[in-house]
Each structure stands twice: as C-alpha cells, then as structure tokens.
Amino acid sequence: MPDKLTVGIVGYGTMGCGIAQVAATAGCEVLVYEVNRDVLTKSNQNLTKILSRLVEKEKIDQAKADSIKNSIKEVNELLDLGPCDLVIEAIIEDPEVKKNVFSKLEDYVNSDCIIASNTSSLSIASLASSCHNAARFIGIHFFNPAPLMHLVEIIPAIQTSNEIIDKAKAIIDSWGKTTVLAKDAPGFIVNRIARPFYGEALRIYEEGIADFATVDWAMKEIGGFRMGPFELMDFIGNDINYIVTETVFKAFYYDPRYQPSFTQKRFYEAGFLGRKSGQGYYSYQEGADSPSPKADRALGKHIFDRILVRLINEAADALHFGVATKEDIDIAMTKGVNYPKGLLVWADEIGIENCVQRMDTLFNHYHETQYRCSPVLRAMMKTGLTFYQTEKRHA
C-alpha cells in the first residue's frame, strides 16, 4: 500500500459521509460516488457544519478543516474510482443492489484494491461472491456516527485472503479506530449480542411489568448504561433497529432468541421512528412532557438483572460459536454501543453460577428457547472457572 491512500466511498449518506470524514482526517484522498444529488448536497452541508463546530471547539484548526474538506472529491461514475487502494460501500441494505455495485466496481479498480462493505448484518461471503476475485473482499463495519464511534468490526468472508485481513485491519487502525475481528455470522459481534438489550426490554413492556420510562430508568440508574433501550431505539430509528432485528432473525433460521417484537413492528408501521420522525416510544415534539418512571429500586433491579443476564448469555454463546475472542467481544460492546462494562467481565463479577441460575429461572418460567442457558456458562459453573481466569488452569 502507498504512503498516502486513495479511498473510495460508494454512497454518501450519513454513514458514507462519516467514513469519508474519518479517512480524510487521517490524511487520505477520498473519492465519493453518490447517485442522489440531494443526498450529496445534504451531506456536504452537514460536513461543513460539523467541521465548523470542531473549529469552534478548538478540536481542529481551520487549516485542518479545509484540508479535510478539500481531500473529499465527488466523482460522477463508478469507473472514476479506478485509482483507489480501498473502496468502502455504504449504500442501502439490499444484497442484490450491493452485489450489482461490486460486480461493476471490480472491473474498474486495480487488482490489489481492497473492496469492502459497511453492511451491519448481511452475509459477507454472499456479497463477496459477486466478485471474480472474492479474496480481496471484506466487511468493514463502522458505527454511527463514524467520526465519534471508536469501534470498527473487521469481518472476513470465508473467501477473504489473510493478506487482505491484515491490510484492512492495519488501515483502519491507522485511522485511529479500535478494530475487532468478527466471524461472518449474522449480526457479527455487536448487532448479534445487543439484540436482548432491545428484545428483552420490549418483552418486559409487553408483559406489563414496566413502561418505557421505567425500563430506561432501571438500565441507566441501576445498570449504569448511558441510554435505556427505548431511548436508544428512538435515537437509532425504529425502522433501522427493527429491520436489523428482522434480518438477524431470518439469518438464524428463525431462532426465537432473535424474534422481533410486535410492539416495535407496530411503531415502525405507524411511522413512529423516534427522534427523526418526532415520535417514537417518546414524543420529541416541542413542549412534549417527559414521562416519569416508577422509581422502585426492587422493580428496577429485577428489570436490569433480567436484561443483563440475557446479554451475558448471548455474549457467552457468541464465544462458544467462535464469533470473536472474549477480548474482542468485550471491546466491541464497550466501544461499539458504550456498555458500561464488557459483558464477560460482568459475568465474572456477578458470578457464573448466578448467571446460570438466572437463566434457568427464566427458562423454567417460560419454557421458551430464547431463555436456554449457554453451554459455556453451564460448563464453567461445573469447573469453577471464569472467563478471564481460564488460562490459569493450564499455567
């Protein structure tokens, strides 16, 4: 790879613009291809505002802001991305649309150009199959907003060469990001493990145990999370969160652990998408009252314990199936979705036996498979080991 990379971005919406900003800030030349002129204009306006705010806050000086802006250039055709060393696609989450782009793009770029997708949940192997040289294809998943979020998931397809894995990781590391290596499994690390954060919260609401505000209060006040599940879904967008949940559910052959919620579906169908629509689980209209939670600490602890153990169980299963190392799982959840602790660290703290008992209690109550305890947790309980003491047994 040359000292100064040329990076192509296909799709210049919120994610594409954010990735372009990250690459340009790191000193890359960035070529942007976007077919929708309105999206292009809006993203350029937003980028100008963001850079102006960074200058005002003295995060960067005006010379750096101008350099970032001038390093991002628009191109009119895919073939104009020919000089790129790396191209990252950030368009609609439609596999056929993406494959069509990749099959064309491959004819225009150099043979040693890395072709990557920023998909959050689609199969990397399937997308890679659209290229004749699938060995140079890889998933590079940024989190929104890309300039602020430290985590990037690197997801090789089974076709991806080891050389491309190393190169892609080195490039993103050089941009100041924290990279984790994820198996090409549905949802990768974060979007797989985080599903119970939303799903179990919705289940608690649907059972009439607590309302939105009380669940959010419990997770923040008792759990130490920055945002509660319903606040976060409103922030992300109920359309995006629901579609990711549905995608992961289908990809896992309809495993009940990832089953979408009727409540979220109805909010999505109603257009209650959250902050961006002015109405979600909460109202964001001017003058709207914020609902008060039922600040009962016993109830709050019950809510927190239930959601936390589901998250821990999912993290343990991800480790069991080789989705990532225990270190990368914990890094992903703290850096990618700002969890207060790594889930496997958390499991060690509250006790493996405690986790197993909580899962068994839920399963015995519901007899539903989403409450089955991970075999990793059950095996560790029997041996008395913890996630971060496992190596000591062999010392």
Helix (H), strand (E) at residue 241: helix 238-251
- Single out the catalytic residue among 43, 117, 141, 231: 141
**133 tagged catalytic:** no
Reply yes or no on whether 191 is catalytic. Answer: yes
Cβ contact 219:362 at 8 Å = no
Q: How many CA atoms lie within 13 A of 143 on its CB side?
A: 24
**CB distance 98 to 104 below 8 Å:** no
Give residues with Cβ within 8 angstroms of 59, minimum separation 6. Answer: none
Catalytically annotated residue among 43, 118, 120, 238: 120
Which H/E stretch holds residue 226? none
CB 139 within 8 A of CB 155: yes
Active site residue 144: no
Catalytic residue among 191, 238, 241, 374: 191
DSSP-assigned letters across all residues of 275-304: GGGTBSSSB-STTPPPPPP---HHHHHHHH
Annotated catalytic residue within 34, 153, 200, 231: 153
What token pair was written down for 324?
A: 């990532």
Amino acid making up residue 155: I
Specify which residues 262 forms β-bridges with. none
Q: Cβ(14)–Cβ(85) under 8 Å?
A: no
Identify the CA nearest to 234 among candidates 284, 288, 179: 284
Distance CA 113, CA 222 (A): 48
Q: Is 88 exposed, middle or buried (0-12, 13-18, 19+ CB in 10 A)?
A: buried
The CA-based dihedral angle spanning residues 30, 32, 37, 38, taken in that order and rounded to the nearest 10 degrees: -60
Give the SS3 label for residue 310.
Answer: helix
The verdict on whether 103 is a catalytic residue reads no
CB of 183 closer than 8 Å to CB of 31: no
Calpha distance 21→143 (Å, rounded): 13
Q: How far is 119 from 94, CA to CA, in rounded Å?
A: 9
Q: Which of 97, 130, 125, 113 is nearest to 6 (CA)?
A: 113
What one-letter code names the amino acid at 287?
A: G
How far is it, in rounded angstroms, from Cα 174 to Cα 183?
22
Give the active site residues: 120, 141, 153, 191
